[in-house]
Amino acid sequence: MLTLYFAPGSSSMAPHIALHEVGAAFEPRPMSFARAEMREPWFLALNPAGKVPVLAIDGRPLSEVAAILYYLARRFPEAGLLPAGDIEAEAKVVSWMSFLASTVHPSRGKGPEAAKAAYALADRRLGAATWAVGRYSIADIHLFRLFWRYSGAAKPARGSFPNLEAHYARMMERPAVIRTCAAEAAVGYELPA
Ligand SMILES: N[C@@H](CCC(=O)N[C@@H](CS)C(=O)NCC(=O)O)C(=O)O
């Protein structure tokens, strides 16, 4: 049994998309920023950091976007979300997700210039490639969610990050992304600006 603790539009959007990509049955458990549910003792027992996402696997909590994406990709290999049998390509997926979690995600909290520099770096790193690492993978899901949030909040001028914008458009065509956006919008966004 899989349960996803998520807050619409937040970091948990990435594992939410991945769950739809792999087609796994799961229980969605919406969490509210407004009611500070992530600070409640029962949730802190699942993740002492007080953050979504958490994926409960038969009741055992797994936190951190990259770890949950990795778990889903490995548990459901038929979905092809990790390059199979290619150690170097798999390591590149880890490289992207480490970069996204350690450099890109925290950049918004460091001010607009830091965020712009981090997304410019991500844009250069992606370059003209269709997907982050050869073919579609969990790295693309992680990248997409961060740029979705940044572009929605900071509203950079069109053409500021041409490679990320093209990647975003490709992602928005995927049924798993469309389903996730619809499901999260139906719950309702409570995101700070
Ligand atoms: N490093 C974590 C970051 C998760 C994170 O920052 N979650 C935020 C939402 S985007 C959160 O739950 N914040 C709770 C709060 O601010 O109360 C990951 O990759 O999962």
Phi and psi torsions of 114, nearest 5°: -65, -40
CATH top-level class for 82-174? Answer: mainly alpha
Residue 64, ligand 1, Cβ within 6 A: yes
Distance 156 CA to ligand 1 centre (A): 23
Interval 60-92: pLDDT, tens = 999 999 999 999 999 999 999 999 889 999 999
Residue 184, ligand 1, Cβ within 6 A: no
Residue 10, ligand 1, Cβ within 6 A: yes
pLDDT computed for residue 193 by the predictor: 66
Q: Which atom of ligand 1 is found nearest the CA of 51?
A: 12
Rounded to two decimals, what is the model's pTM?
Answer: 0.97
Specify the CATH number for 2-78+176-187; select among 3.40.50.880, 3.40.30.10, 3.40.140.10, 3.30.70.2190. 3.40.30.10
Whether the ω angle into residue 53 lies within 30 degrees of 0, i.e. cis, is: yes
Distances 28 to 12, 68, 79, 135 between C-alpha atoms, Å: 11, 15, 20, 28
Q: Which two tokens stand for residue 25?
A: 């049955």
Interval 23-57: pLDDT, tens = 999 999 999 999 999 999 999 999 999 999 999 99
Task: Measure the CA dihedral 112/37/54/141, to 10°.
Answer: -40
Q: Start-end ranges of CATH 1.20.1050.10 in the chain? A: 82-174
User: Among all chains, which residue has been given the structure tokens 């469309």?
Assistant: 178
With a pLDDT cut of 70, the percent of the chain lying above it is: 99
